[in-house]
């Protein structure tokens, strides 16, 4: 029976009503009295020396308040990087300055050089065209390997080279890995590219800043996944504004997928400019601007080697990766190819030793940072592709090869050779589930049927693990994070029993307003509609780290549970007083406090009223009121896992691939709202299929972005996608958080790309194209056709 509320119920989303009626409040819907408009002058060359910027003609134009250049930001700091990676030799990464407006050089197409603030948007844009840039074009650095060659032009002249860091993990295992590969019965090698992507939330970025000269207070409305992080980074490191004078509001936000985590130059610009012009300043990104100014994702080039013994047991994995940082370090960029990637290279398998080398490289391209999955899709893709190749080379069933190398259910907790300890899992269960859901046994018959129609059918399997629920602060601190990664919640119970929860998590599509309320309702035993979830405004939520890394329910939800537990404990004291009973005898069920073994009870509302009208109240023992805050810092990551299967048909005449079906069998631990969880998987899988088949960020040899709009960057459309078959019944609850939850936001994007590519390669092999070992993503018709004809 479906539950009708609380944990485990597919409660309808309350936030939907405002989104369905046009009553949402997105940042671009916010207009502040007296508002002015900003338009950025951006570099149209990838690399160049700025000889001069002549703003005089622009300044003289109608409606222009001021034209800003880097000279106006001399007192400001650069955009900070939130993570410092230490290299193989114990040295800190090279960390260049990231100015708000370009200083001395431009380093990528889209690098902001100047900005016009004017009375209207069109006036700002007109004037921006009158800003004269005198830039001497320099040879751009685009290819990562070429960027590291001796004599390559430098993106940052003050650095010793274009190498950000050369990271080895686990460095102590390097020799053991080399030895294992040398002595292995089989070594399977694959070179592959993890294609550069653009996150493309449908809402472009917007920032509106309002400085109040009477109070010295700043308010910034911005499209952010983590307003407190923006307040901290921008206030403390860029503009020297103390937190109590800076309010950051992220209202309804139209998707993020990672790209709205980071502190961007445009946010700092409008905040500072608002004080300078003494007017509110609004900037709204166009989609064209988003393509060159939002942080991109992925962009790894990897060689992976998998060693196996004569029984086909994995004995070692060695990888060699080049990771593109782009022109500057975005907020979390250095952590993605390292700690969010290397630590996942054991996958679901008992590989005894692993060595991961990553060279992070500066190039004259847009900065690269986390995009849904962030490092974990890159790890999963390499591993699941090379395992598929191994199965083919060894002539064994790819499901069986995985199964025999899986960590067994009874072996948890399991210490991997890549520093993390998996708390729970049952990979055999998810694999079996996916094979059953997809009628693995019946595939040959389906392939025959396709063949009769002239099509090549393929079956692709991938299994994945991810580390999410980010993250234990003391651990990430050791690894170079410059922030804690706890989460917070305040639970405010009102006199008549309604509850307002203020969470540090941020919902931009995930449905927290519904699912978080389900948790609190379940704990107290009251109706979900008695609970309101507030998020996104630093003025009324406790310091929180926001939403990314599939962390909201695992970390933010846990903070809310802890705060609610405090509420319940205090409410029990009040109830004990009201019923003249011992606190230890008080039970809470269905919103009623009762005394064990008696028929005495008081309702939730009686207790909450007593807390605020404390006439009959133990004032000598406890304070009036019912409001509690908790901060939760997880003791480990969570480890969702799953088996994904893609079935495709390839048209051998055109190379066009059609996804016939996509199946996901996930283990997310406990599930709060199945409807929302399934929706998250659908969206993640669509992005993964997008990466595998459609999406690609391409620069030409001059550093111009060719895929710079929806005319050339292929966003998945409705007719590109099949119906998805998703399951989350294999549940091994997380052992270290109070809800037993693992997180589900990124899984779909992590597990799906290798499933798709494995299916395409399988189809080609079945069709007789046995020379095709690999096709880089996206597997476009042209690439498939070229591979078939190579």
Partner 1 sequence: MYNFDIETPSTVKDAVAALKQEDAQPLGGGQTLIPTMKQRLAMPSALVSLKGIDEMRGICEDDAGRLCIGGSSTHAEVAAGAGKYPALAALAGNIGDPAVRNRGTIGGSVANNDPAACYPAAVLASGATVTTDRREIAADDYFQGMFTTALDEGEIVTEVKFPVPEKAAYMKFEQPASRFALVGVFVAKFADGVRVAVTGASEEGVFRWSEAEAALTSDFSASALEGLSLSGDGMINDLHGSGDYRAHIVKVMTKRAVEAA
Partner 2 sequence: MKVTMTVNGQTRTGEAEGRTLLSTFLRETLGLTGTHVGCDTSQCGACVVHVDGKDVKSCTMFAAECEGTEVATIEGQAAPDGTLNKIQQAFQDYHGLQCGFCTPGMVMSAAALLRDNPTPTEAEVREYLEGNICRCTGYHNIVRAILAASGQEVPAVAAE
**Binding stretches for partner 1 (CB under 8 A):** 122, 125-126, 129, 286, 288, 653-654, 656, 694, 696, 698, 706-707, 710-715, 720, 780-782, 785-786
CB of 706 to partner 1, least distance (A): 5
Does residue 192 bind partner 2 (CB under 8 A)? no
Does residue 125 bind partner 2 (CB under 8 A)? no
Length of the chain (residues): 790
Question: What residues form DSSP beta bridges with 726?
Answer: 664
- In eight-state DSSP terms, residue 328 is S
CB of 711 to partner 2, least distance (A): 5
Site track 250-279 with partner 2 (rule: CB under 8 A), x = hit: --xxxx-x----------------------
CB of 201 to partner 2, least distance (A): 6
Under DSSP, is residue 30 helix (H, G, I), strand (E, B) or coil?
A: coil
8 Å CB contact between 67 and 116: yes
Judged by beta carbon distances under 5 to 8 A according to partner kind, the member of partner 2, partner 1, none in contact with residue 129 is: partner 1
Query: Which regions of 186-280 does DSSP assign to beta strands (E)?
Result: 186-194, 197-198, 206-212, 217-222, 246-249
Does residue 52 bind partner 2 (CB under 8 A)? no
CB of 651 to partner 1, least distance (A): 9
Does residue 746 bind partner 2 (CB under 8 A)? no
Tell me how far apart the alpha carbons of residues 627 and 477 are, in angstroms, rounded to a whole number.
Answer: 31
CB of 643 to partner 1, least distance (A): 28
CB of 673 to partner 2, least distance (A): 8
Judged by beta carbon distances under 5 to 8 A according to partner kind, the member of partner 1, partner 2, none in contact with residue 20 is: partner 2
Tell me how far apart the alpha carbons of residues 245 and 361 are, in angstroms, rounded to a whole number.
Answer: 37
CB of 48 to partner 1, least distance (A): 22
Burial class for 244, CB neighbours closer than 10 Å (0-12, 13-18, 19+): exposed
Q: Which is nearer to partner 2, 370 or 471 (CB)?
A: 370
Own/partner long-range contacts of 13-22 (Cβ < 8 Å, ≥24 apart): 13/511, 13/513, 13/514, 13/676, 14/513, 14/514, 14/517, 14/529, 15/507, 15/511, 15/513, 15/514, 18/252, 19/252
Q: Which is nearer to partner 1, 236 or 715 (CB)?
A: 715
Does residue 63 bind partner 2 (CB under 8 A)? no
Does residue 429 bind partner 2 (CB under 8 A)? no
Tell me how far apart the alpha carbons of residues 507 and 15 are, in angstroms, rounded to a whole number.
Answer: 10
Question: If you write DSSP's letter for every residue of 277-311 in order, what string do you get?
Answer: HTS-EEEE--HHHHHHHS-EE--EEEEEEEEE-TT
CB of 675 to partner 2, least distance (A): 4
558: phi then psi, degrees, rounded to nearest 5: -65, -40
Site track 670-709 with partner 2 (rule: CB under 8 A), x = hit: ----xxxxxx--xxxxxx---------------------x
Q: Which is nearer to partner 1, 596 or 786 (CB)?
A: 786
Q: Which is nearer to partner 2, 214 or 723 (CB)?
A: 723
Question: If you write DSSP's letter for every residue of 101-125 in order, what string do you get?
Answer: S--SEE-STT-EEEEEEESSHHHHH
Q: How many residues bind partner 2 (CB under 8 A)?
A: 66
CB of 712 to partner 1, least distance (A): 5
Does residue 511 bind partner 2 (CB under 8 A)? yes
3-state DSSP of 133-151: EEEEECCCCCCHHHHCCCC
Judged by beta carbon distances under 5 to 8 A according to partner kind, the member of partner 2, partner 1, none in contact with residue 782 is: partner 1
Going across the sheet that includes 132-137, the strands are 105-106, 48-54, 132-137
Tell me how far apart the alpha carbons of residues 345 and 339 are, in angstroms, rounded to a whole number.
Answer: 11
The binder of partner 2 chosen from 477, 716, 733, 781 (CB under 8 A): 716
> 789: Cβ–Cβ under 8 A, 6 or more apart, which residues?
none
* Footprint on this chain of partner 2 (rule: CB under 8 A): 1-3, 8, 10, 12-13, 15-24, 26, 28-29, 122, 200-204, 252-255, 257, 286-288, 508-511, 674-679, 682-687, 709-711, 715-719, 721, 723-724, 726-729, 748
């Amino acid at each position: 029976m479906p539950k009708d509320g609380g944990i485990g119920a597919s409660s309808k989303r309350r936030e939907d009503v405002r989104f369905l009626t046009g009553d949402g409040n997105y940042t671009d819907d916010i207009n502040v009295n007296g508002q002015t408009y900003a338009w950025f002058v951006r570099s149209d060359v990838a690399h160049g020396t700025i000889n001069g910027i002549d703003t005089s003609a622009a300044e003289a134009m109608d409606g222009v308040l001021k034209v800003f250049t880097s000279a106006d930001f001399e007192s400001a700091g650069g955009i900070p990087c939130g993570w410092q990676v230490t290299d193989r030799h114990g040295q800190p990464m090279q960390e260049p300055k990231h100015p708000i407006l370009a200083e001395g050089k431009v380093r990528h197409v889209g690098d902001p050089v100047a900005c016009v603030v004017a009375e209207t948007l069109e006036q700002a844009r007109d004037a921006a065209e009158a800003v004269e840039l005198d830039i001497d074009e320099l040879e751009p650095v685009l290819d990562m390997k070429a960027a590291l060659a001796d004599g390559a032009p430098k993106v940052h002249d003050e650095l010793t080279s274009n190498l950000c860091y050369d990271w080895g993990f686990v460095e102590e295992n390097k020799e053991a890995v080399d030895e294992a590969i040398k002595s292995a019965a089989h070594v399977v090698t694959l070179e592959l590219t993890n294609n550069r992507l653009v996150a493309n939330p449908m809402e472009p970025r917007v920032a509106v800043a309002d400085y109040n000269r009477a109070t010295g207070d700043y308010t910034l409305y911005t499209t952010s996944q983590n307003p407190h992080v923006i307040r901290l980074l921008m206030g403390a490191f860029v503009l020297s504004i103390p937190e109590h004078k800076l309010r950051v509001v992220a209202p309804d936000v139209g998707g993020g997928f990672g790209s709205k985590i980071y502190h961007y130059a445009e946010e700092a610009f409008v905040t500072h400019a608002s004080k300078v012009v003494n007017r509110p300043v609004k900037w709204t990104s166009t989609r064209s601007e988003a393509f060159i100014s939002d942080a991109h994702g992925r962009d790894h080039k990897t060689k992976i080697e998998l060693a196996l013994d004569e029984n086909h047991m994995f004995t070692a994995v060695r990888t060699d990766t080049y990771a593109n940082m782009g022109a500057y370090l975005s907020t979390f960029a250095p952590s993605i190819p390292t700690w969010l990637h290397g630590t996942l290279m054991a996958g679901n398998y008992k590989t005894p030793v692993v060595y991961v080398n990553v060279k992070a490289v500066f190039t004259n391209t847009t900065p690269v940072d986390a995009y849904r999955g962030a490092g974990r899709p890159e790890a999963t893709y390499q591993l699941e592709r090379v395992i598929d190749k191994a199965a083919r080379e060894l002539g064994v069933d790819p499901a069986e090869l995985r199964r025999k190398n899986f960590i067994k259910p009874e072996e948890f907790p399991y210490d991997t050779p890549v520093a993390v300890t998996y708390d729970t899992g049952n990979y055999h269960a998810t694999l079996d589930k996916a094979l059953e859901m997809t009628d693995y046994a019946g595939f040959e018959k389906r392939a025959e049927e396709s063949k009769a129609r002239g099509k090549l059918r393929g079956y692709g399997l991938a299994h994945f693990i991810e580390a999410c629920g980010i993250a234990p602060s003391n651990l990430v601190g050791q690894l170079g994070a410059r922030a804690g990664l706890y989460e917070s919640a305040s639970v405010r119970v009102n006199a008549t029993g309604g509850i307002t929860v203020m969470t540090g998590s941020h919902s931009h599509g995930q449905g927290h307003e519904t699912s978080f309320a389900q948790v609190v309702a379940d704990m107290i035993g009251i109706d979900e509609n008695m609970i309101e979830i507030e998020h996104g405004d630093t003025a009324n939520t406790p310091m929180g780290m926001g939403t990314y890394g599939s962390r909201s329910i695992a970390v933010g939800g846990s903070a809310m549970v802890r705060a609610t537990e405090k509420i319940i404990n205090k409410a029990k004291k009040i109830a004990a007083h009201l019923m003249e009973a011992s606190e230890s005898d008080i039970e809470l069920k269905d919103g009623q406090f009762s005394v064990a073994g008696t028929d005495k009870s008081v309702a939730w509302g009686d207790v909450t009223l007593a807390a605020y009208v404390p006439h009959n109240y133990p004032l000598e023992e406890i304070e009036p009121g019912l409001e509690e805050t908790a901060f939760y810092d997880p003791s480990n990551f969570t480890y969702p896992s799953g088996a994904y299967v893609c079935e495709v048909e390839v048209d051998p005449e055109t190379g066009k691939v059609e996804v016939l079906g996509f199946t996901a069998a996930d283990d997310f631990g406990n599930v709060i709202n199945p409807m929302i969880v399934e929706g998250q998987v659908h969206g993640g899988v669509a992005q993964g299929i997008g990466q595998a088949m459609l999406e690609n960020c391409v620069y030409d040899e001059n550093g111009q972005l060719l895929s710079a709009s929806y005319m050339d960057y292929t966003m998945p459309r409705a007719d590109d996608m099949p119906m998805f078959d998703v399951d989350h019944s294999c549940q091994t609850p997380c052992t270290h958080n109070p809800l037993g939850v693992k997180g589900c936001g990124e899984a779909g994007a992590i597990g799906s790309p290798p499933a798709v590519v494995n299916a395409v390669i399988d189809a080609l092999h079945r069709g007789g194209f046995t020379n095709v070992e690999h096709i880089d993503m996206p597997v476009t018709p042209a690439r498939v056709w070229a591979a078939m004809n190579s």
